[in-house]
Structure 1
Amino acid sequence: MDLGTFIDFDGRPAVRFTRVYEHPVERLWQALTEPGELAHWFPSPEVRMEPRVGGKIEFSGDPNIEEDVSVGTVLVHEPPHRLAFTWGGDELHFTLRAAGEGGCELTLVDVLERRDAAARNAAGWDVCLGALGARIAGTEARAAPDWGPRYEAYIAEGLPSGAPVPGTE
């Protein structure tokens, strides 16, 4: 398991992931920005975005969020290399760069609203990034991998934990 890392992001707690995919930057950009693509891997299966800095981004269909629709703001929109937006109290920063022969390196930084959400969010992003890889490779998994062992691995690595875990209260 390729674990993310707990970092300081401009004085705020964050988790960072770096993954390399054997697909071009443009394919990953499509997966990050098109609603039909996001539905296959992003935690909220319905995402609508105004693709500009200051644009509205709406999330719905996530069974782990109480609101029917949550609204964020696009912070960075630099196709096809950088995208950032608010999601609840977090900020998500995606950076894409070419890697190798036609591949792409994706860096995701989840700037956390709560420090104790690090292990929980890291485990969730591990699952999501795996689903992203399966989506762009055309080999989507039929069932999501078990989230629990990933969460325990992050706790064992010393990531802050203790935030409520949806579905376990």
Structure 2
Amino acid sequence: MNEYGTLHESNGRYALRFERFLRHNPEDVFLVITKSSSFSQWYPFATGEMDLRIGGKIAFDDGEGTRYEGIITELDKPYVFGFREVDDLINISLQEEDQGCRMTFTHTFNNDSWAVNTATGWHRCLDVLVQIINGKPIQWNDNSAKLREIYSDAFRMEP
């Protein structure tokens, strides 16, 4: 399975999509994804404040003085978790497969000018999420430049 994200365009919006196979059941993966303490370790700017229900809020802080909220728009435990972050949509779905599950992570947004950098960032964040799910110590790999090159080539865009 290719762990690299793909970029799709539809109706003037763009979506980055990543798939990862995990050797854990959806219930365990969903818990790690939505538990405030682990969510804030892999998701950028998350503060750990989350009201896990449809319409519930997720608090974010960019570390430079800007605080904002996301709103949970989809919640079907243990298979779907989706929310709106400003104008962007995040959707994480889990599907039982073999001896585990397939996680599909989709980020939908309006402007593709940051697609390469955004894909690079999500790739790295999802690597950390997988480490957390697998009970490994968190290690942020120094692979941003390489990933930007890969995504720039894949999307045929300047990094």
Structure 1 and Structure 2 fold alike (TM over 0.5): yes
Map 1:90-169 to 2 at 5 A.
90-101=88-99, 103-158=100-155, 160=157
Map 1:13-162 to 2 at 5 A.
13-60=14-61, 62-63=62-63, 66-101=64-99, 103-158=100-155, 160=157
Identity value in percent = 26
Q: What's the CA shift for 1:94?
A: 0.6
Residues 30 and 37 in structure 1, CA contact (< 8 A), matched pair in contact too: no
RMSD: 2.0
Q: Report SS of the residue matched to 2:149.
A: helix
Range with greater deviation from structure 2 (127-136 or 86-95): 86-95
Q: What's the CA shift for 1:160?
A: 4.5
Q: Could you give the per-residue CA deviations for residues 103-148 of structure 1, whole angstroms, max 9, x where no partner exists?
A: 1110011001321121111111110111011111122244433212
Question: CA 1:98–1:150 in structure 2 vs 1: closer, same or farther (change >3 Å)?
Answer: same
Letter in 1 for 2:89: E
Question: CA 1:127–1:11 in structure 2 vs 1: closer, same or farther (change >3 Å)?
Answer: same
Q: Which runs of 4+ in 1 moved over 4 A?
A: 159-162
Q: Distance in 2 between matches of 1:113 and 1:154?
A: 18
Residues 128 and 139 in structure 2, CA contact (< 8 A), matched pair in contact too: no
Q: Distance in 2 between matches of 1:105 and 1:159?
A: 27
Q: Distance in 1 between matches of 2:90 and 2:29?
A: 16
TM-score (norm. length: structure 2):
0.88
Q: Which consecutive unaligned segments of at least 5 residues does structure 2 have?
A: none
Q: What's the CA shift for 1:44?
A: 2.0
* Pair 1:7-2:4 in alignment: no
Q: Which consecutive unaligned segments of at least 5 residues does structure 1 have?
A: 163-169
Q: Distance in 1 between matches of 2:14 and 2:144?
A: 22
